[in-house]
Amino acid sequence: MTLEAGRRELRGLDWEAAFEEVPRELFLPETMWPDGGSAVSRADDPEGWRRWADANVPIATQWDDGLHTGTDPGQVASSSSSAPSLVFWMFAELSVFDGAKVLEVGTGTGWCAALLSARLGEANVTSVEIDEAVAEVACGALTSAGWHPRLVVGDGLLGWPGGAPYDRILVTAGVRNVPRAWIEQTRPGGVIVMPWGTRYSGQSAVARLVVNGDGTAGGRFSWATRFMHVRSQRLEWPDHEDYLSPGEDWPDGTRRSITGVPVAEVVDESGYEAFDFVLGLLVPECARTYARSPRGVQTMWLYGLADRSWAAVYFDGDSRVYQGGPRSLWDEVEVAYRWWVERGRPGHEEFGLTVTADGRQEVWLGGPSAPVPCAASAVR
C-alpha cells in the first residue's frame, strides 16, 4: 500500500490533524533498522535518519526481545514502528468516533498511542506492552511529546479489564488465536482490528471483527501484510533434522509423484500472494519454507506441526514431489489449489473470520454460512 493510498482512507475521518500533530520521528530511537535492514544512527547520519523516519517503511526498534546487542540486525524483530500507510489503513478500519474508548495491544514505540490520544483524548486511550523496557522508552517518548495515555506493562492477550468495556481494540502484533479477553472487554457493537494468520507462514491478513452481544465476533479480512507476532504465538520453525536424518536420501516409504500446480502459484518468497493465505486455511498444522538446491532449483518444503509428516517439491521443470509421514501434505496442497481455482481465485478480502462464544475460530468465504474446508479430509 502506498502512503497516499493510506492517507485517502483517513480523509474525512478526522485523523489528519492528529497525524500533523504527532510526527513519527518523535517516537523513533537514536539507532533503528528501516525495513529490518542495516542500522541507521541519528548521531552518525542525521539526514539519512530523518529520511528514513519520514519514509513509508516499517522500522525495527528492538531485536530478539531485547537480548540482541550491536548494530547488525538480530534474528527476530521484537518491536517496531509500522509503516505509516499501514497505520493509516488500520485507523480507518477502526472507524472511531469522538469520545470512543480504545485499547491498544502492543505499545511499541508509543506513536500509535499518541495518535489515538490526539484524536480521542488521552483519557480514552489505554495501551498495553508486554516488554517493560519497551514500555519505559515509549513512556518517555510520550511524556516528552506531551501525551499521557494510560500505559500498562502486561500481557496484551489478557487485555486490560481495568479500562473495560472498550469501544475499539487495536492490535499491533499478529495473532493466530483470538483471546476471549478481547471479546469480553469490548462492548457489543464494538470493533477489534488485528492482524491474523495461520501457522503456515509469516503472512497475516488484517481482520475487522464486530463483537456481538452473545459473546461472538466476526468480520472480513481486508488486506495481506506481515506483522511480528505476539511473543507467545510466534511460530517456532521446524528443525529439518527432526523429519529427515542428516545426509539421508529419501527414506523407505517415501511417496513420489509429479505435480501440476504451477510454481508461480505457490513459490512466493515475499509471502503476499492470496494462495499462500489460502493454503494456511485449508492445510492446517503445517509450515512451509523455501530453499534452493546446490543446482539452484527452487524447492518448497512442508512440515507437519502435529506429527512428522513432510513434503518436498522441486520446481525444476518436472515438478517432482517427495513426501512422507502420516499425512500427504502435498496432496492436501493440490486439493486446496483446486478448491481455490474452482472458486475464482478469491483474495483475502473475500474471506472472513468468526470467533464463537466457546472460542472456536471459523474462517469462511463470502459469508459465515460457507466455512472453509480442511483439505486433509479429501485425501484420506
| Calpha distance 108→136 (Å, rounded) | 10
User: Which strands form 59-63's sheet, in the order they lie side by side?
Assistant: 40-41, 31-34, 59-63, 77-81
Q: Beta strand 125-129 with 102-105: parallel, antiparallel or unpaired?
A: parallel
| Calpha distance 186→176 (Å, rounded) | 19
Q: Any idea what the Cα angle at residue 82 is, between residues 78 and 85, rounded to 5°?
A: 165
Residues annotated catalytic, as ranges: 82
Whether the CB-CB separation of 139 and 151 falls below 8 Å is answered with yes
The answer to whether the bond into 373 is cis (omega within 30° of 0) is no
Q: How far is CA 279 from CA 101, 373, 380, in A?
A: 36, 11, 18
What is the DSSP code (8-state) at residue 14?
T
To which residue does cell 544512527 refer?
41
DSSP per residue, 301-318: EEEESSSS-EEEEEESSS
